[in-house]
Chains A and B, each alone.
Chain A
Amino acid sequence: MKDDNRLITECREGHTAAFGELVARYQDRLFNTVLRLVDNAEDARDVVQEAFLHAYQSLRTFKGDSLFFTWLYRIAFNTAISSRRKKRIVLSINPTGDDGKAIDPLDPAETNRPGHALEMAEEERQVHAALAKLSSEHRAVLVMKDMDGMKYEDIAEILGVPIGTIRSRLHRARLEMRDLLQKLAEPKDQA
């Protein structure tokens, strides 16, 4: 398998198919992240598609100082934010994160345990609901850190803010998320 830099060089030489390989390589990862930022599969798809197109158009400006995915992520993140601003998306508390379509885990074996699917669906509903109540800033850092496993340094680079800001933003986001999840769990516990 060709590495990213090789594919990028080929793209710059005019081989569009090489860019197709990069899209195939990162589309799922990017889509899952963006899905948590815009909370709608159709919008997420649009955002990812637009991000790839922007990336292709800006490929000459990619200097390789950071990983290609980090660079791509920054483009996608900015696209997602502008998409949300434009649409003023009201986040739905939807356990599936889509228009009623269930999200299939990549590993179907997880669903084999009896009751597991229900538990997961409920937990996911709560996480979604809590995420939906967070501000864009808090939601973004949580998604980048927990879903994408990024370091503070990478998050700071993507968002263009100092590492200290990321540290305090994540701190507040985690505490807020904890409070929200506790509140969402309360009615069930009381019942």
Chain B
Amino acid sequence: MLSDQVLQLLTAFVDGELNPRQREEVLRLLNKSSEARELVRQLQENANKLKQLPRRKVEPSLVEDVLRSIAEAKAIPAAASAKPKRAGRRWMPFLTASLAASVVLGVLGTLYYQSISDDKGDVNSPIAKGKIEKKPEAKVLPEKKSETKPTLETPPKKATPNPLLANLIEGTFRDFGAPIPVDRPFLAQFRDLQKDGAASGQLAYELDRSKAVQLDITVKNNAFAMDRLRAVLLERGVLLVSDPTASKKLRDKNQAKVEYLVFAENLTSDELTKIMGELSQTVVVGQKNTERQEPSPYQKVAVSKLAGDDRQKVAKLLGVEAAVLEPKDGKLVKPTPTPTPKIERQAVLLPANPSAGVSNEVRQFAAGRQLPRPGTLQVLIRIHQE
């Protein structure tokens, strides 16, 4: 019968976790004891059975799901708020939030009740006493004199809480359970968008989330980047109309740090994702003899929902009312005009800080805008040189 200490040595031998001296000791034992040999054989056989269990591939791959979870939760490294869709104790955050909210509501409720009680005139309260004493018209009726509690001549005043407190409580109730708006932009490097990988999928997903988006793009060279954008848009049947001031600034080397806006409509998220992918590609420039490859000037992009004040700014630059640019729930208000064979759509290049009024080119663009088509995006691209 092998002792427990020997058994431990034998299992450690099977695990390959013995030092040379222990190993020698076990080998000597195995030479002498058939029982030890049989045990080691069994343990090794069982370990092999575990080792040989079939391995499976995760299908479909988790890459997209994980990246989507990160995007959905707007997770950033070191943040601790995100959870995947189907995992973990999903009720736990809600329970914690509910408990915290209950405590807050309880405290606020108590304060609220106190403030009402105070206004109702708790005669024992020093605050209430002060209020009653200050009112000259508040007289005790003669016939009620004998009563223990004095009755006031004035009609009972409706209880009004402290307005600050009331607002706070009302807001708390109104917003209770409402999602906390955490709207961090989605960030990507253009080099990650070069192929249809996870970054492209995530970009498409982000673009699909709203009807109007803003792309903040950092480039190495504004003029080169704009040329590329113009060419890529044209390949997709989108003509980039340019404000003359913006065009002039683009060619001015002293204006390198100027920000430019490109406003476009009726682009699908898929198209926009592909456009971003194409912008990330290396470009062949120059003539036949001087032809060379240039790396893409596009560096990184941040995607966010187009904010109301940004839409107002674009409207002002286009010389139209902001309401005109409001996306229309993807429904056609009137039939889409028949597109021209090649160039169906237009985009416009605008200076972010115009020095003059709205140019004729921009006015023409605004007047010729097509109505939004279902399932398309309104896009404001901000381009700035790093």
Q: Is A140 an interface residue (CB 8 A)?
A: no
Nearest Cβ in chain B — how far from A135, in angstroms? 16
- By beta carbon, the residue of chain B nearest A147 is B50
Report A-chain residues with C-beta under 8 Å of the C-beta of B370: none
Does A20 lie within 8 Å of B57, measured CB to CB? no
Given contacts A45-B62, A124-B54, contact A11 B17 (CB under 8 A): no
Task: How many A-B residue pairs have C-beta atoms within 8 angstroms? Tell me.
Answer: 171
Does A83 lie within 8 Å of B88, measured CB to CB? yes
Nearest Cβ in chain A — how far from B12, in angstroms? 6
Given contacts A50-B87, A56-B77, A178-B43, contact A147 B53 (CB under 8 A): yes
Does B11 lie within 8 Å of A53, measured CB to CB? no
Interface residues of A in 36-80 (CB under 8 A from B): 36, 41, 45-50, 52-53, 56-61, 79
**A-side binding surface: helix, strand, loop or mixed?**
helix
Report B-chain residues with C-beta under 8 Å of the C-beta of A175: 7, 11
Q: Is B192 an interface residue (CB 8 A)?
A: yes
Q: Is B56 an interface residue (CB 8 A)?
A: yes
Does A57 lie within 8 Å of B88, measured CB to CB? no
Does B66 lie within 8 Å of A20, measured CB to CB? yes
Given contacts A17-B188, A20-B67, contact A56 B75 (CB under 8 A): yes
Q: Is A6 an interface residue (CB 8 A)?
A: no
Given contacts A20-B66, A145-B15, contact A53 B189 (CB under 8 A): no
Size category, A interface: 35 or more
Q: Is B269 an interface residue (CB 8 A)?
A: no
Tell me, in angstroms, the Cα distance from A52 to B55 when the chains sit together. 20
Interface residues of B in 129-159 (CB under 8 A from A): none
Nearest Cβ in chain B — how far from A64, in angstroms? 14
Chain B residues engaging chain A, CB cutoff 8 angstroms: 7-8, 11-12, 14-15, 17, 42-43, 46-47, 49-51, 53-58, 61-63, 65-67, 69-71, 73, 75-80, 82-84, 86-89, 187-189, 192, 197-199, 202
